[in-house]
Amino acid sequence: MRRHRNVKIVATLGPASSDYATIRALHEAGADVFRLNMSHGKHHEIAARHRIIREIEAELNSPIAILADLQGPKLRVGTFARGEEELIEGATFRLDLDEAEGDATRVCLPHAEIFAALKPGANLLVNDGKIRLRVKDCGADFAECEVVVGGTISNRKGVNVPDVVLPVAALSDKDRADLEFACELGVDWLALSFVQRPEDVNEARTLAQGRAAILSKIEKPAAVTCFDDILAVSDGIMVARGDLGVELPVQNVPPIQKRLVRKCRAAAKPVIVATQMLESMIESPVPTRAEVSDVATAIYEGADAIMLSAESAAGEYPVEAVTTMDNVAREVESDPTYHEVIEASRRVNRQSIADAIVVAAREIAETTDIKAICCYTESGTTALLTARERPHVPIIGLTSLQSTARRLALTWGVNCVMTEQLTRFKLAVLNAARAARAQGYADESDQIVVTAGVPFNVPGTTNILRIAPCKESLIYATDPG
C-alpha cells in the first residue's frame, strides 16, 4: 500500500482497537507499524491481534511491521493502611523493606536493589514525578527522605530513581516470558524498556536469537549518558519522552530528542519519537495546535516514525488520530522548508562501497529526472543506508525475504516490494521497473536508479548502480545479457 509520505506511523493496539475492522481501518488510514503493549493484555489477546494483522497484511499485499513492547521492571511502593496519605513539603518520609502497611511517615519499597544504589542527596520521584523525595540518610534496607514536593501518595505508585544507575536488569521474569512468547508469535521488533547500559540490549539480543530486531527505549538519564554505546548494539531506538520527562527536567527533553534523532540518522538506524503526541485525541476528535506542532517538529527533525499510544489503544478516536498524523506528515513533507532542514542536517558518511553507492544514487536522483531509487536488499542494510540519505524521490526496497520487508516498514521512506530471488542483474532491473510502474511511482517514459549487489542474495555486497528506463523494450535493448 503506497503512502504519500516518508515518515512512518506506529499505532498501539488495545481495547479500542482490537477487532478486525478497526485494525484494518487503522492500516488504511496510515498505520505502518502496530505496537503490541506487553504491559496490558493477556497472551491470548495479543496473539489474536497479531493474527488479525497478518490476515490484513496478506489481503492487502502490504508488509506490516509488528512491534512488541516489553514492560520492563516496575518499581513501586507497597500499600497504605488507609489506601493513601498526604505528604507535606518539608516533612520526613521513610522508605524501607518492612512489609507492614504504610502511613504518613513510612511505606514499604520492596526493592533492595534501590537501597543498595542510593546515596544521600539522591532524588526519588513517586507517581510520575508528582511527589519528589530527597534522600537524607540511607542504608541497605531503608532511605530516610525529605519531602521536597508533597502530594497524595497511594497504593503501589511507581518510583523513579533518576540520579543513579540501578543494579536492575532491563528484563524481568515477566519480560523474559513475554519475549519468548513474542518471538515465537513472529513479531518483527522487540522494544526494550528500562535500558540503562548496552549490556541490557545484549541480553535481549541473546534471548531473541535473531528472531526479532531489538529497539531500545531511551527513557532514563543513564541511557542518555551512554547513548552512543546503546545505539551501537541496537537495531533501532525509541525516544520515550514520557518517563524521560519524569526523570529529567522537562525542558531538557526537546534538545535530547533532537540530538538522539540526528545520531540515529547518522548511524542509519530507525528512530521513533513517542509519547503524548496527540494526547488530547484520547477524548477529542481534533488535536490541540501544540500537539500538531509537536508531531510536525519530529517530522522536520527527520525521525523515521511517530507513535500513537493511548490515542489508538484506548481512545475514542483511534482512526481519526492516525488520519491526523497522516495529514500532518503530508503537509510538512510538502513544505519547501522541510527539504531545506533535511538537507542541512544530512551528514556525509562514505566509509564503504555501499555508502558511496547510496550517496551517488541520491545525488543522481536529485540532479536528473529520476522517479525512484530501487534498492535490492536482503538484510535491509542497503535500504537503511538509502533512507539515511533522505532523498527527495521515493525509495523502493526490493527483497525476497518477508522478514526484511516487514522490519523495513519502520524505516523512513522505504516502500517494500516482495520479489523472487535473482541471479542476473538484467532481471533485477526488469523487476525494479515493473515495481516502480505497478506502485505508481513511474511510467514507461520515466527513468529509475537501481542499486544491487553481485553476487546476488548475499548481504553486504551492494556494488552496482544503474540508471535504467522503465520501458522493458529499452531495458532489453540496452542490456541484452
Name the residues annotated as catalytic: 35, 76, 217, 275
Question: 185-208: buried (b, 16+ CB within 10 Å) or exposed (e) per residue?
Answer: bebbbbbbbbbbbbebbebbbebb
Question: 25-61: buried (b, 16+ CB within 10 Å) or exposed (e) per residue?
Answer: bbbebbbbbbbbbbebbeeeebbebbebbeebbeeee
Alpha carbons 67 and 324: distance in angstroms, whole number: 21
Nearest one of 105, 154, 102, 147 to 127, comparing CA atoms = 154
Q: How remote is the C-alpha of 141 from its chain's centroid?
A: 37
Q: Work out the number of other CB atoms within 10 angstroms of the CB of residue 335.
A: 13
Alpha carbons 478 and 110: distance in angstroms, whole number: 72
Angle value at C-alpha 111, between 191 and 165, nearest 5 degrees: 55
Strand ranges in 27-72 using DSSP code E only, listed in sequence order: 33-37, 65-69
* List of residues 6+ apart from 296 with CB closer than 8 A: 328, 332
Q: Which residue carries 532524588 as its cell?
A: 123
Report the half-sphere exposure of 216 (CA within 13 A, side-chain side).
Answer: 30
| CA 53 vs CA 308, 309, 402, 467: distances in Å | 17, 17, 14, 37
List phi, psi (to 5°) of 431: -65, -40
**Residues 174, 71 contacting (CB under 8 angstroms):** yes
Q: How remote is the C-alpha of 312 from its chain's centroid?
A: 16
Helix (H, G, I), strand (E, B) or coil at 95: strand
Nearest one of 95, 171, 104 to 140, comparing CA atoms = 95
**Residues 65, 414 contacting (CB under 8 angstroms):** no
Alpha carbons 343 and 345: distance in angstroms, whole number: 5
